[in-house]
Amino acid sequence: MKSLITILLSGMLALGCGKNLAGPGTDLLLQPPGGLYAYSADSTHVMLVWSASASASASDFAGYTASWGSVKDTVGAATFSYLAGPLPQGLMQFSVMSRRSDSFTSTPVTIAWAPAYRFDNGSLVIFEQDASRLGRVAGISLGNQTTPPSAQILDQTSQASIAFYLEGSGGQQLALHSGADFYSPWNVTMFSTVTTAAASLDTALAAFPGDATFTEHLIPVNDNVIYYARVSTSTSEIHYIRIHVNVSGAVYPDRSAVIRLSIQRVAGVPSAAAGIPERDVPCS
């Protein structure tokens, strides 16, 4: 009996007496980070952002472990972000765990996100209408993986490639319109009912808006807001985009907006029912 007690005590000491262990290297008493958020930093990187663990004040708290695919990196206790990459195109699962000095970790917080092409240098400026543009509105052509987006006058030459345009007839609030409002046989853009007040596209989210929110063919715009759109193209591709808008201080009919874009380009799978691509990657 004495030998059995000795063996049991030795086992408890080896495992760490008083620890709630869910498996090798996991301590259930160690609190995970207080949330995990993400944004697409560029076409091959995703930025992860989290808040401090409730266990961060413990003397043996060492920091955080970020993991994706086969990669596992550690950062210090005062670091609350991690740039993951380079990444392939498509959705990736990310995890962040709290870490003790003995390398035990908490249960993870997770998020799924995808890298996206970024066009946010401020060069995309679109106008509602003015004399120099002969009264014609301007819009954005999204281009493709080898051609960046461009601002174009909305006319018979460009109409087939316009994903959305800016319009505020009679001095109404400016709104982004689906290109299909002007020329229905081509690109079909639907805007999400979800928006995010933000100073830039470097704004982390808990999740990208769900498919059911993409119901609007036009959406009024305000300064420093991110809008979300789903664009189905005539070539069976689909783009999920974040649109950051800076509205000019000019008055009707000479208003304009600087448009910054984050585009998740995905080859679409045509839907037999609707005749448009179905979504297969949800984040940008």
Q: Which CATH architecture has domain 16-113?
A: Sandwich (2.60)
The pair of structure tokens assigned to 238 is 């689909």
pLDDT tens track, the chain, 284 positions? 445 444 433 444 444 444 444 444 666 689 999 989 999 999 999 999 999 999 999 999 999 999 999 999 999 999 999 999 999 988 899 999 999 999 999 999 999 999 999 999 999 999 886 545 455 678 999 988 788 999 988 888 888 888 999 888 788 899 999 988 887 766 789 999 999 999 999 999 998 898 899 999 999 999 999 999 999 876 677 889 999 999 988 888 888 899 999 998 875 433 222 222 233 334 55
Annotate 139-167 with b (16+ C-beta within 10 A) or e (fewer): bbbbbbeeebbebbbbeeebbebbbbbbb
Cα separation of 248 and 230, whole Å? 25
Residue 86: cis peptide before it, omega within 30 degrees of 0 = yes
Q: What are the residue ranges of helices labelled H in the chain?
A: 2-15
The domain ranges of the chain are 16-113, 117-278
pTM: 0.82
Structure tokens belonging to residue 256? 């304009």
